[in-house]
Amino acid sequence: MDGHLAGHQSDVRNFARSLDPADWRSLRALGHRMLNDLFDDLESVGDGPVWRPMPNAVRDAWQAPLPRDGAEPEHVYDEYRRLVAPYGVGNRHPRFFGWVHGGGTAIGMVAEMLTAGLNANCGGRDHAPIAVERQVVRWAAEMLRFPPEAGGLLLSGTSIANFVAVLAARRAALGGAVREHGVADARLTAYASGGAHMCVARALDMAGLGSASLRLISDDGAGRMRIPELAERLPADRAVGMRPFLVVGTAGSVDIGAIDDLAGLAQLCRESGLWFHVDAAFGAMAMLSERLRPLLRCIEQADSVAFDFHKWMQVPYDAGCIVVRDQAVLQAAFARRADYLRPTGRGLAAGEPWPVDLGPELSRGFRALKVWMTIRTYGADRLAAVVEHCCALAQRLAATIARTPELELAAPVALNIVCFRVRGCDDATQERVASLLQEAGRTVLSTTTVGGRRVLRAAIVNHRTEEADVDAAVSDVLATLAIIRAMPGR
């Protein structure tokens, strides 16, 4: 026996082989209790604090060594209730405005339980969970108004979906050789606005192109990429031996919710032979709404779109999505089969193409069930109403801020994100307001930089948020400011 295991007293041969419970009745009762607790928690989620910091004793509890002996599930669940449940992110709460996080739903919650019950591996093979995923991706393509040959995949989030898009664009630019020999000195360059999410630069880094291959184009003051500057940059880069291959438009920038002129970018990409990708992490959901859809005009002309179901569609984490206008391009970028995965045309090993041929993962979970159950339960129109409501709340918040002498808006409100500042206060004070508010648990805002200055940022994404919640955000900021001003030696 290994030295470090030698001292252990128990004899593993004494254990029952199966990990199924010896007493199903007691685990079933515990399961019912867990489900009841979950529903209770969710039903009253707005009553408690948005967030509470973990006490040191809780942090310390997460430093335990590997347990050699198991514990009763009741005991383990008790640990969960004490050490995990009270200290979540808080994004289920109606006054969580911190980052672009969806609020989740009760139906999504139980879908996750069903998913775990089925324990399907969705890398491939011929089974219903793959059919569900294809259905969901077809719905996404329909939402984006993509052509019938479109295809895609569910992924962990938009960061990875953007990465998959970069790899597809790279394969389209360099041909199949790049998959065998790498990028060598291809000198590919990509373009996005300065407000593009940091994961775009990281995707280029991970694709072996280097984050410096991303050229950031300045914006028009409202966060939209200046297309004339992009048009000038392309020949200038070509003239010095670079090879432009990709433009990433943003539909809903993370800082202020700005939407690039997608029609203009689509046209330029068509004329210049560039792959046009849109990062629509949360903005894609505006396509569900007749009123908001025109903001994303021509997104259907993109070569690929990345977005999340876990943000504005309220599907529990995680559920990102890549949709490519021609699935064959995705297949060309990823398909590779080992002998043990060879398609057989019939039986369980049929069902081509497999998701493993369309993306980087082999083993992958059944993310599609919670997405399908969410869309099937609420329908696209009800989800569109959530998106419209959040935008209306953002306008209400912006109007309240504009009327409040102590505050000033820091950016135009394009969708559901409101950036503002406490007038006459430095950057440190803006951050202090956000941190104190978070610690008080009343309202969670975050901070970012707009125009070189730190600002408070409210992202309104949660279907539970109401007018009173956004009104409370303003009064909470003012109350916090009063506390800061009253602090001795502030």
Ligand X SMILES: Cc1ncc(COP(=O)(O)O)c(C=O)c1O
Chain residues in the site for ligand X (CB under 6 A)? 100, 157-159, 197, 199, 250, 252-254, 279, 281-282, 308, 320
Neighbours of 305 (CB within 10 A): 34
The two tokens of residue 221 are 């003051």
Distance, CA of 285 to CA of 100 (rounded, Å): 13
Nearer to ligand X, 105 or 416 (CB): 416
* Cβ–Cβ < 8 Å for 279, 320: no
Q: Packing angle between helix 128-144 and helix 368-403, nearest 10 degrees?
A: 30
To ligand X, the closest distance from the beta carbon of 109 in angstroms equals 19
To ligand X, the closest distance from the beta carbon of 305 in angstroms equals 11
Nearer to ligand X, 100 or 391 (CB): 100
Nearer to ligand X, 174 or 199 (CB): 199
To ligand X, the closest distance from the beta carbon of 100 in angstroms equals 4
Neighbours of 87 (CB within 10 A): 15
Which residues lie closer than 8 Å to 411 by C-beta, 6 or more apart? 222, 223, 255, 256, 258, 419, 450, 451, 455
- Tell me the residue nearest to ligand X as measured from the CB: 157
Nearer to ligand X, 407 or 444 (CB): 444
| Three-class secondary structure of residue 96 per DSSP | strand
Nearest to 192 by CA among 256, 275, 272: 275
Rg from Cα positions in the chain: 25
Put the strands of the sheet holding 417-422 in their side by side order. 407-409, 417-422, 453-459, 446-450
To ligand X, the closest distance from the beta carbon of 281 in angstroms equals 3
To ligand X, the closest distance from the beta carbon of 188 in angstroms equals 21
Q: Which residues pair with 417 in a beta bridge?
A: 459
CA 225 to the chain's CA centroid: 22
To ligand X, the closest distance from the beta carbon of 99 in angstroms equals 6
Helix H or strand E segment including 230: helix 227-239
Nearer to ligand X, 192 or 474 (CB): 192
* Cβ–Cβ < 8 Å for 325, 302: yes
Nearer to ligand X, 35 or 198 (CB): 198
Nearer to ligand X, 124 or 195 (CB): 195
To ligand X, the closest distance from the beta carbon of 21 in angstroms equals 36
Nearer to ligand X, 390 or 474 (CB): 390
Torsion of the alpha carbons at 87, 91, 95 and 99, rounded to the nearest 10: 120
Nearer to ligand X, 158 or 289 (CB): 158
To ligand X, the closest distance from the beta carbon of 465 in angstroms equals 17
To ligand X, the closest distance from the beta carbon of 219 in angstroms equals 14
The two tokens of residue 418 are 């409101």
To ligand X, the closest distance from the beta carbon of 88 in angstroms equals 17
Helix H or strand E segment including 458: strand 453-459
To ligand X, the closest distance from the beta carbon of 284 in angstroms equals 10
In 3-state terms, the chain is what percent helix, strand and coil (to 5)? 45, 15, 40
Which residues lie closer than 8 Å to 230 by C-beta, 6 or more apart? 191, 217, 247, 265, 268
Nearer to ligand X, 254 or 266 (CB): 254
Nearer to ligand X, 279 or 357 (CB): 279
**Is 471 exposed, middle or buried (CB count within 10 Å of its CB: 0-12, 13-18, 19+)?**
middle
